[in-house]
């Protein structure tokens, strides 16, 4: 199965998502991170946790998390400049929790597609793929 990259649907029409993407593209060109964090709200809000300042800032980390992102949105961002101009030692990926209505297979395919793109564009980086947290009313299969 092939996942298609897709911009985030800006239902609030505030331009926030595209503005964040453009900022990330600029940061990628201007920074030399050792660790790059990619994903959705769980990654984005990590900067608000004490551990970010105590541990991750010391590692010269860049946080490219955007709340609400689905696998196809992150794929679009990565295909449109967020991996250009940098050479991190480690890339941490956590994505897929917002893919409501998608099957486990579709979510896994999206994550695999993103991993393949990261491997292609950043072959020197050690890739850490974090597991998805349980979600919903029923137990996950």
List domains and CATH numbers for the chain: 16-129 (3.40.50.1110)
* Confidence bin at 11 (pLDDT 50/70/90): low
- Residue 6, pLDDT above cutoff 80: no
Which residue in this structure is represented by tokens 């984005």?
Answer: 44
How far is residue 20's CA from residue 120's CA, in Å, rounded to a whole number? 24
What is the residue-wise DSSP string for 54-101?
A: IIIGGGTEEEEE-TT--HHHHHHHIIIIITTT---SEEEEE--TT-TT
How far is residue 47's CA from residue 52's CA, in Å, rounded to a whole number? 5
Contact 72, 127 (CB under 8 A): no
* Beta pairing partners, 58: none
State the DSSP code for 135.
-
pLDDT at 64: 96
Contact 90, 34 (CB under 8 A): yes
| pLDDT tens readout for residues 12-63 | 678 888 999 999 999 999 989 999 999 999 888 888 888 888 888 878 899 9
């Amino acid at each position: 199965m092939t996942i298609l990259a897709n911009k985030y649907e800006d239902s609030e029409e505030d331009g926030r998502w595209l503005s964040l993407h453009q900022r990330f593209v600029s940061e990628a060109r201007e920074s030399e991170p050792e660790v790059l964090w990619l994903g959705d709200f769980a990654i984005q809000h990590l900067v608000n946790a004490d551990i970010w300042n105590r541990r991750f800032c010391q590692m010269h980390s860049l946080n490219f998390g955007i709340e609400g992102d689905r696998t196809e949105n992150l794929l679009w961002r990565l295909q449109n400049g967020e991996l250009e101009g940098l050479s991190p030692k480690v890339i941490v990926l956590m994505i897929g929790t917002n893919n409501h209505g998608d099957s486990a297979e579709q979510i896994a395919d999206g994550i695999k597609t993103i991993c393949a793109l990261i491997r292609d564009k950043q072959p020197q980086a050690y890739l850490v793929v974090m597991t998805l947290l349980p979600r919903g009313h029923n137990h996950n299969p």
